[in-house]
Amino acid sequence: MGAQKGIQRANEIYRDRSRRVLELKADGKEIIGYLCIYPVIEMITAAGMVPYRLFGDIREPKTKVEACLPTVVCPYLRSVMDIGLKERYNFLDGVVMAHSCEVAEKLAHIWKTYIDQKYAFFLDVPHTIHDAAREQFRDLINDFKLSLEKYTGSPITDEMIVDAINAHNQQRSLVKELYDLKKSDKPKISGVETVKVLMAIMSLPVEEGNELLEEVITEVKGREGGDNDDKKRLLLWGSIIDDTALFELIEDVGADVVIDDTCVGTRPFFPDVELTDDPLVGLANRYLVDIKCPRTFKEANFGEKKKDYMEDLESRFGYIKQLADDWNVDGIILHSLRYCDIHGYDIPGLKDYFESVGIRSIYIEPDYTEAALAPLRTRIEAFLETLD
């Protein structure tokens, strides 16, 4: 994979995600697949293995999954399972899945039933951020650590965990630097390119991902500046989008996603892990409290006796407004995959909230197929017109 650098290399890995890990595997590295953003990847890195994010494939017809997951569940998860059943994830030595959402939790058990891998761990994640829940999550991360130690036969020391946290935190600050390049009127890197880079680094060991990010940032900084000055600047919120198709469509109709709150975009990268005396405490706080995914139950004031609706919305969604302000967006696309409960229930509240702060938004609900995107074109075009 030598000669390619920066964006070109990211594109290459985006197109052929497993290529690099297969080389590493040939050199004796173990590769652990992980689903969604709740498996604590620092632990995989600390155990000397490569965390490799499991994605689906919107371009691939789901032909095998019918036998074990019904159509009424998250189509992304069905796609991941379909690919697994087609043995395209057979290069993985193991997987870790988490209770990120209900169906993901169930998928962990189905995966383990049908796909024989050397290692499988399911990480439960509490639903609330109560003190007891944080402590519980710290202990659950410790269970994960113990199970990795049992699998590898070697202890994972606090030092190893701290090193892994530092490496991943470095990755997070590089990703933030990359997003910063999208703040200007002429963003130097597009939404499409950003997704490719992020999906590429989630397919590499953290250090290689960091190298790639540094190359990308240098390359992008050296660019003249995009042709985006008359494009509408959008924020994209919602459930997983692990393909460039939607971003391409948006670019095609004269807009660009300059910032997002999705679980391939900023969500897994923006919050850092704080280094605490017991590193597992910092990890628990980061994953349970700091990651802003609607799967965790949050409220304005813990133990409030009367709910103030607007205050509640502000506390839950205020950070999105902050992103919208910092990246100077013209409008917001709310995206919830068909059958995604945890994102779907937030839609009316999000609409109320953005209306109250004067930002226009549109809701889309694609079903994780390329075909479903086509009809969105006119809707998004019409939405852009309202932003003038």
Q: Contact residues for ligand SF4 (CB under 6 A)? A: 36, 74, 76-77, 101, 103-104, 239-240, 337, 340, 342-343
Token code pair at residue 281: 């405490």
CB 239 within 8 A of CB 335: yes
What's the closest the beta carbon of residue 25 comes to ligand SF4, in angstroms? 26
**Nearest to ligand SF4 of 24, 68 (CB atom):** 68
What's the closest the beta carbon of residue 194 comes to ligand SF4, in angstroms? 19
- Rounded to an integer, what distance in angstroms lies between the CA atom of residue 359 and that of residue 352? 10
What's the closest the beta carbon of residue 263 comes to ligand SF4, in angstroms? 6
What's the closest the beta carbon of residue 112 comes to another protein, in angstroms? 4
**Nearest to ligand SF4 of 302, 319 (CB atom):** 319
DSSP 164-202: HHHHHHHHHHHHHHHHHTTSSSS-SS-HHHHHHHHHHHT
What's the closest the beta carbon of residue 20 comes to another protein, in angstroms? 30
- Rounded to an integer, what distance in angstroms lies between the CA atom of residue 76 and that of residue 69? 12
Q: What is the rounded (10 degree) CA torsion for 19, 21, 22, 28?
A: 160
The arrangement of strands across the sheet holding 255-262 comes to 255-262, 232-238, 331-335, 360-364
**Nearest to ligand SF4 of 76, 287 (CB atom):** 76
Residues that bind another protein (CB under 8 A): 66-70, 72-74, 99, 101-103, 105-106, 108-110, 112-113, 121-124, 126-128, 130, 132-133, 135-136, 139, 143, 146-147, 294-295, 297, 299, 303-309, 312, 336, 338-339, 341-342, 344-349, 351-352, 363, 365
For residue 282, count other CB atoms closer than 10 A to its CB.
Answer: 21
Q: Which does 217 bind (CB under 5 to 8 A by kind): ligand SF4, another protein, none?
A: none
Q: Which does 124 bind (CB under 5 to 8 A by kind): ligand SF4, another protein, none?
A: another protein
Q: Which does 158 bind (CB under 5 to 8 A by kind): another protein, ligand SF4, none?
A: none
What's the closest the beta carbon of residue 39 comes to another protein, in angstroms? 13
**Nearest to ligand SF4 of 282, 294 (CB atom):** 294
What's the closest the beta carbon of residue 302 comes to another protein, in angstroms? 9
**Nearest to another protein of 108, 212 (CB atom):** 108
**Nearest to ligand SF4 of 103, 204 (CB atom):** 103
Long-range (24+ apart) CB contacts under 8 A made by 283-287 are 283/40, 283/42, 283/43, 283/138, 283/141, 283/161, 283/165, 284/134, 284/135, 284/137, 284/138, 284/141, 285/134, 287/38, 287/40, 287/125, 287/137, 287/141
| The residue to which tokens 């990211």 are assigned | 10
Q: Which does 130 bind (CB under 5 to 8 A by kind): another protein, ligand SF4, none?
A: another protein
- Rounded to an integer, what distance in angstroms lies between the CA atom of residue 44 and that of residue 114? 23
**Nearest to another protein of 222, 305 (CB atom):** 305
CB 179 within 8 A of CB 161: no
